[in-house]
Amino acid sequence: MARFAEKMVQLGTERSEIREAFAFAQARAAEVGPDKVDDFSIGNPSVPAPKQVGDLVKELVDAADPVQLHGYTPAQGDGQVRKALADDLNRRYGTDYDGDCFYLTAGAAAGLRIVLSALGCPGDAFVTMAPYFPEYKVFVESAGCTLVPVPADLEDFQIDFAAFQAALTPQTKAVIINSPNNPTGVVYSQATIEKLAQTLEEKSQEYGHTIYLISDEPYREIVYGEEPLPWVPSYYANTLVCYSYSKSLSLPGQRIGYVLVPKCAEGFGELYAAVCGAGRALGYVCAPSLFQFVVARCTGQTADIGIYRENRDILLNALREMGYTCAQPDGAFYLFPRTLEPDAHAFCQRARKYDLVLVPGDSFGCPGHVRISYCVPTEQIRRSLVKFQKLAEEYGLGK
């Protein structure tokens, strides 16, 4: 009988709770009609890509040399494209990147996986704050390393620095952060980033080796607060950025993003070579070429995130009025309220009675909470409120 890699069979067989919830919602929609089911399970952008994206695709397909347009680019991405991305960041953040700091990838997922293989040596640990994007565990472990989740401060989901410092050890190779955050929607304040940078400087000094910071930023442009989002590499030199256009330009299916390795990062020459090497070893070379050329000409553009802001405002205000507790979500398109009983799975099952589909926080390493993905039509947000209300009433709230 044929034998296969056990771990891969397991990963390919077990379904994530997000996928399971999504499948439930689809099955119910087929049964009772889509307008009866309020599916808040999945983070698929509900706002279309800007018109310019479609126009550019048409223009490129009609006018560009098809051999070049559809051909291989260099493994790390087209040189002109990488230069355009560097110029854009330099304009926005006063940095001095050039194209040779970039490696284009099939989304942030590939970027993260590349960076983890580039940095990870046997025995290394990667620390992240819980709740966290569940694929971190899969990616870190498949790079042969260990993920160490540290609970965030549950009041505001900023970093709990006492817990964080206690989790750092000489085995810590890097820390993964994600702000704006999936699943909480929380944005790290400047004070948090400053303190994080200071902690990493001190611990790097203490352990005699650099602790790198991996900033996973697919939601970078989706922010609603007054304060601009801190540009993390300006606070900590040894930061690698994993970026994606999946959310900002609503292009998740096109699989395009990049890894940025600033030249001031410790050991830049070998580090960038390791990123290229990991891309090669994983077969993640030459990110989709048509969309390389598209994103290079869409710098500064986003999908209409005003719709997400409206959704957030309606839902957050209503939930708080009903008595739910929810940390301030100033970015991305997720809310992460506390569940009204300790067992988030039981809470989600009760919600399903109303065809209200939510994801338990346990999936993100944070029980007692539930993720609500509000990247859905505003009409769905409005119609779901009565369901959230009935659910709250089951627990004696909002009567």
Binding residues for ligand PLP, rule: CB under 6 A, are 43, 107-109, 133, 178, 182, 216, 218, 244, 246, 252, 257
Whole-number Å distance between alpha carbons of 338 and 340:
6
* CB-based contact 149:180 (threshold 8 Å): no
Residue 279 C-beta: closest distance to ligand PLP, Å: 15
Minimum CB distance to ligand PLP smaller for 218 or for 233: 218
Minimum CB distance to ligand PLP smaller for 213 or for 322: 213
Residue 261 C-beta: closest distance to ligand PLP, Å: 18
Minimum CB distance to ligand PLP smaller for 108 or for 326: 108
Listed in sequence order, the residues at least 6 apart from 389 whose beta carbon sits closer than 8 Å to its beta carbon are 322, 398
Whole-number Å distance between alpha carbons of 150 and 163:
7
Residue 181 C-beta: closest distance to ligand PLP, Å: 7
Minimum CB distance to ligand PLP smaller for 215 or for 311: 215
Listed in sequence order, the residues at least 6 apart from 200 whose beta carbon sits closer than 8 Å to its beta carbon are 175, 211, 213, 236, 238
Minimum CB distance to ligand PLP smaller for 224 or for 245: 245
Residues 220, 107, 184, 365, CA torsion sign: negative
Residue 245 C-beta: closest distance to ligand PLP, Å: 7
> Which residues are paired to 212 by β-bridges?
174
CA-based nearest residue to 287, from 262, 261, 254, 260: 254
Residue 36 C-beta: closest distance to ligand PLP, Å: 27
Minimum CB distance to ligand PLP smaller for 185 or for 257: 257
Residue 13 C-beta: closest distance to ligand PLP, Å: 21
Both tokens of 239, joined, read 């930061």
Minimum CB distance to ligand PLP smaller for 76 or for 244: 244
CA distances 394 to 39, 175, 353, Å, are 20, 41, 12
Both tokens of 309, joined, read 């802001």
Minimum CB distance to ligand PLP smaller for 17 or for 216: 216
Residue 111 C-beta: closest distance to ligand PLP, Å: 8
* CB-based contact 370:336 (threshold 8 Å): yes
Minimum CB distance to ligand PLP smaller for 73 or for 182: 182
CA distances 247 to 219, 251, 253, Å, are 6, 7, 10
Residue 333 C-beta: closest distance to ligand PLP, Å: 10
* CB-based contact 266:237 (threshold 8 Å): yes
**DSSP letter string over 141-205?**
HHTT-EEEEEEPPTTT-S--HHHHHHH--TTEEEEEE-SS-TTT-----HHHHHHHHHHHHHHHH
CA-based nearest residue to 159, from 168, 150, 167: 150
Residue 89 C-beta: closest distance to ligand PLP, Å: 17
Whole-number Å distance between alpha carbons of 68 and 255:
19
